[in-house]
Amino acid sequence: MVEADSRINAIQGLIDELHQRYLSLEDGAPANYIPELAKADPRDFGIVIATVDGRLYQAGDAGKSFTIQSISKPFVYGLALKLLGPECMVAKVGVEPSGEAFNAISLDPTTGRPRNPMINAGAIATTAQIACRDPENAEATVLDFFAQLVGRRLGIDDAVFRSERATGHRNRSIGHLLRNFAIIETDPELSLDLYFRQCSIQVTCRDLAIMAATLACQGRNPFTGARPLSPDITRRVLALMASCGTYDFAGQWLHDVGMPAKSGVGGGILAVVPGRLGIAIYSPPLDSLGNSVRGIAVCNELSGRLGLSLFNQYPQSSSTVRRSYTAARRQSRRWRSPPDREALRASGQRIRVVHVQGILDFAALERLVAELAASLAEARVLVLDLAHVIELPAESAELLAQQLTLFQGRGLEILLSRSAHLDLEGVRLALGQEPETLFCPDLDQSIERAENLFLALWNGDPSGGASAHENAFSQGFLSQLNPTYRQRVAACLERRDFAAGETVIRRGDPGDELFLVHHGRFTATIQLQDGYGRPLESRLATFGPGMCFGEIAFLSGQRRTASVASDLEGGCLVLSRPDFDQLRRSDPEAMNELLLALICDVGQKLSLTSHQLTQMEHL
């Protein structure tokens, strides 16, 4: 854990400032109804903030040990939900604020059910369910669970445990009352013992901040990656912390601070900004309601100065749509014949490419759907690129599936690009598509597939129906020569066939052959590095019938800068260096025509490539 430096980090500077300022606040006194707690040093004072990205900001006694007391309650309630399920727990303890003190003997008069798991009655009822479920291992189960929440093993302060067990008469009466209403169904002493132990778990302010950050992270510990709680249980726990966590101070707390929180008579207080961060303060002097005086003051100021209140969240302004454009502005690196190129240029708006970003919660998804609906009027093919989507919550995945199904029902072909990091199985099943037709790991190939889909619709048959041999001569490179010279050049070409995946040109080889595609498809690739310095094989271009490749190294006499492989079963007409030299000597006219055609071809490729590059800057 890297410590922030207040000289270069304003957030650390603020924490240091608050610690300095409230150190002099000396109201309140440590709890004494549990004698051992009275020994706490009232000058102890720590502040820690832990973010969902796993960063810590800490000041003062961040690492000093004290007992967790009631702060254990929301977490043990989460554990009970995890072990026994909400249906079982709701029969034992309610979810309503009681408006009474934490130690009120407060049970629903008819059912005997405590109103919520944050007051002692509800907490004892909750702990009892875990104690009764597996008496032998209950304590170990609780400690293992806390270890996941914090990221380290925690112990129990035996002196505090004994002190509370010896003086916990009020809790004992609550326990027996719960037994009377069969909320506890066995000897209450067993449950009380476990409850006193859980309250005596030793933590530090740093531990509490990490626990709070775990709640902020939907139950996943951002420092270790462990997931002790599910998002649904975390939601339930946070809701109860917000409504009941500071007992009969809860209304004022939500009004002033506006964060789910939990206090403890050991002097700790923990607050959560869901999805953002956890806050913990430790200072033993308590107010009359049993909350840390310095803790309340610091949380008030942090909420006000940093705008942390749940009821003060700024409307999300960042657009979900990162980029949106049509194939008229960006084509794939698949070289197309002039007719296909013209079709794509003239009707490229029929292919829409949309790059999506961020966490696709409901608000973001709603914005995406609105922008898609507005931009798809003319589209026949949609490429949805999801590379920059950080998270797709399950609820949103379901809504996305429904929305894409609606688009599909209106005749839209859909391709999902770079989405392997997301769970889209539900979307795939809703669209009724095979993985290989719906998903594509590469954006450029997604756009190529969209082009192919569109050309198939546009031409009825993207191959155009002409035989490969006609394609090789009637369109593309050789078609630029007049028939006389074309035949004389063709006589120098050697037919060479390749299996699918076979290497035709290897990077670094001498450029002593020129290739004209007879049939099939050939892709040139280059070796790049990704953002992490890892080698990345990247497509440069794909060539179809009638197109030539390898001409630059061939004409310049340099070594190959790219590799080329045959995507399918394919064939090329090959001009070797000796035949090229022979043609130059024996038929200078044909040679001139050939060179002119090569210059035009290279110039056309250069012009298209620079057009694409310029376009890319403005997408």
Report residue 254 as tokens.
């939500």
* Least separation in angstroms between CB 124 and ligand DON: 8
Closest residue to bound ligand DON by CB: 70
Per annotation, catalytic residue among 95, 160, 265, 272? 265
- Residue 70 among the catalytic residues: yes
User: If we measure between CA atoms, which residue out of 440, 522, 424 comes closest to residue 476?
Assistant: 522
Tell me how far apart the alpha carbons of residues 380 and 350 are, in angstroms, rounded to a whole number: 5
* Least separation in angstroms between CB 71 and ligand DON: 7
Report the residue number, 119 or 472, with the smaller CB distance to ligand DON: 119
Report the residue number, 264 or 476, with the smaller CB distance to ligand DON: 264
Tell me how far apart the alpha carbons of residues 199 and 186 are, in angstroms, rounded to a whole number: 21
- Residue 191 among the catalytic residues: no
- Residue 73 among the catalytic residues: yes
Per annotation, catalytic residue among 247, 282, 325, 485? 247
Report the residue number, 288 or 317, with the smaller CB distance to ligand DON: 288
Report the residue number, 212 or 548, with the smaller CB distance to ligand DON: 212
* Least separation in angstroms between CB 174 and ligand DON: 9
State how far Cα 412 lies from the chain centre.
27
Tell me how far apart the alpha carbons of residues 573 and 515 are, in angstroms, rounded to a whole number: 6
- Residue 265 among the catalytic residues: yes
Q: In what order do the strands lie in the sheet with 277-282?
A: 56-60, 46-51, 277-282, 268-273, 261-263
Report residue 50 as tokens.
């832990």
User: If we measure between CA atoms, which residue out of 142, 150, 149 comes closest to residue 126?
Assistant: 142
Q: In terms of DSSP H, where are the helices of 67-220?
A: 72-84, 86-90, 120-133, 138-150, 158-167, 169-180, 188-199, 205-216
Q: Distances in Å between the alpha carbon of 339 and those of 249, 380, 520, 532?
A: 75, 19, 18, 40
User: If we measure between CA atoms, which residue out of 80, 73, 64, 54 comes closest to residue 1?
Assistant: 54
Report the residue number, 199 or 209, with the smaller CB distance to ligand DON: 199
Pairing of strands 439-440, 413-417: parallel
Per annotation, catalytic residue among 70, 72, 396, 563? 70
Report residue 86 as tokens.
């909400």
* Least separation in angstroms between CB 354 and ligand DON: 51
Per annotation, catalytic residue among 52, 72, 73, 417? 73
Tell me how far apart the alpha carbons of residues 308 and 276 are, in angstroms, rounded to a whole number: 9
Report the residue number, 161 or 439, with the smaller CB distance to ligand DON: 161
* Least separation in angstroms between CB 68 and ligand DON: 8
* Least separation in angstroms between CB 396 and ligand DON: 37
What is the contact surface with ligand DON in residues (CB under 6 A)? Answer: 69-70, 102-103, 120, 164, 171, 199, 263-265, 290
* Least separation in angstroms between CB 382 and ligand DON: 55
Element (H, E) at 19: helix 10-22
Tell me how far apart the alpha carbons of residues 567 and 570 are, in angstroms, rounded to a whole number: 8
- Residue 282 among the catalytic residues: no
Per annotation, catalytic residue among 77, 195, 282, 485? 195
Report the residue number, 198 or 563, with the smaller CB distance to ligand DON: 198
Cα angle 434, 439, 444; round to 5: 140
Residues tagged active-site: 70, 73, 195, 247, 265
